[in-house]
Amino acid sequence: MIYVSEGLLYVCFAILSGALLLRLVPEDRRPAVHVPNGFLLACAIAIPILSYVPIHKLALVFAKDFDMTYGTILKSILLDINTGKAWLWTMIGSAGLAFLLGLKSFRNDKHMPKVALFVTFLLVIWLGYAGHASSLNGFKGMLTHSAHFLAVSVWIGILFIISWFAKDNAHWPAFLRWFSPVAISSVSVTLLAGFVLMTFTTPEYVNAWMLPYGQMLVIKHLLIVPLLLFAYSNGFGYKKAVLNNPSFNPKRWLQAESVIALLVLAATGALGQQTPPHTVQETLQTVSPSPLFTSLYKGDFSPDITLQFTLHMESVLMLAAALLMAGGLLWMYRSNRLIPAFIMGILTAVFGYFGLMFAIA
């Protein structure tokens, strides 16, 4: 339940960011988009509810461990712990955002989306304040986490809204002319901030694969590969695809890209609720190793082992298959065959995962 709530929380942020940003874009530079105001209002209301789920779980655990009432523990969490303080500010900000979205004048006022977008970005900062990186590295961790999540929300949010709520196929070239640089910038910030975050939370990247956190992290990274392949195709291959096939519909391809993006957000949500292995050997004293890892690892497991890469024939074949699927995705794009391309994208991540797991010793 907690992983589902965290994933939905990230989706709500992406939807709000994308919808509000697109309201600021002139109509001649994007397809016509209609996002029901009630849908945005529901996302704003859902943010404090979904972000309360881990606090509720923490309060239940502490109340049981310390033999105290739920209310007493909850008060302590909200007033003394960063996660609780951030939730109080999130609740206040979400209430203000919901009020703005509920105003009838909001739909036609050109300034209201700017205010709502500013509040949404404040909510992103408070999310960063409540994250693992903030607790480990203070302001630097909070800033890095916030920048990482903000870039993801902008990129995936615009992608999600334009692919599922566009009413027509008008102005696609004009849309891609500004969205491609925005997406490239967002991806660059995401990757750079992601690497910095890993130095805070996962300095032993390969060793962390023994833990559930490390397994989810490598799965997330592998899912980013087909996402970037789709983004490259949609951003740079569109003009050539239209010339070769006048019936080419970019909206379907953006929808496929958005589905993979949702999988990345789901993995990100799962990471937010697992123990980051700042020191793997110490973390293994309190956290069980990942069942995925233990089922694939061929050696004798112990908490003090150090993982290393040793390429075997089976790992080389799996990695080669991943590269083949990645190339096939790009080829299917040129041929306008969406379903095979989507399957190949998922298989790129799957084969890449087994290739890495088979190579460790």
SS3 letters across 125-174: HHHHHCCHHHHHHHHHHHHHHHHHHHHHHHHHHHHHHHHHHECCCCCHHH
Position 88 in a domain: yes
C-alpha 122/C-alpha 243 separation (Å) is 43
pLDDT at 107: 65
CATH of the domain at 156: 1.20.1630
Check if the beta carbon of residue 159 is closer than 8 Å to that of residue 253: no
Averaged pLDDT, 189-204:
85
Query: pTM for the complete prediction?
Result: 0.88
- Range 136-145, long-range pairs (CB < 8 A, 24+ positions): 136/200, 136/201, 136/276, 136/278, 137/200, 141/197, 141/200, 144/193, 144/196, 144/197, 144/200, 145/193, 145/197
320 Rama class: left (phi>0) / alpha (psi -120 to 50) / beta: alpha
Which domain range does residue 148 map to?
Answer: 2-289
Position 54 in a domain: yes
Nearest partner of 340 among 352, 349, 350, 331, judged by Cα: 331
pLDDT band at 204 (very low <50, low <70, confident <90, very high): confident
Check if the beta carbon of residue 220 is closer than 8 Å to that of residue 205: no
Position 91 in a domain: yes
Instruction: Please say if the pLDDT value at position 239 is more than 80.
Output: no
Q: How many angstroms separate the Cα of 288 from the Cα of each of 200, 219, 293, 305, 338? A: 21, 18, 11, 14, 40
Q: For 58-80, write each residue's pLDDT tens digit.
A: 888 888 878 788 888 888 888 88
Position 322 in a domain: no
Position 264 in a domain: yes
Position 72 in a domain: yes
Position 229 in a domain: yes
Q: For 134-169, write each residue's pLDDT tens digit.
A: 777 778 888 988 898 899 999 999 999 999 998 887
- 35 Cβ contact partners less than 8 Å away, ≥ 6 residues apart: 15, 19, 161, 165
Element (H, E) at 211: none
Position 313 in a domain: no
pLDDT > 70: what percent of the chain?
97
- 67: how many CB neighbours lie within 10 A of its CB? 6
Structural domains counted in the chain: 1
Q: For 318-361, write each residue's pLDDT tens digit.
A: 999 999 999 999 999 888 899 999 999 999 999 999 999 988 86
Instruction: Please say if the pLDDT value at position 108 is more than 80.
Output: no
Work out the mean pLDDT of the chain and round it to a whole number: 86
Nearest partner of 149 among 275, 271, 251, judged by Cα: 271
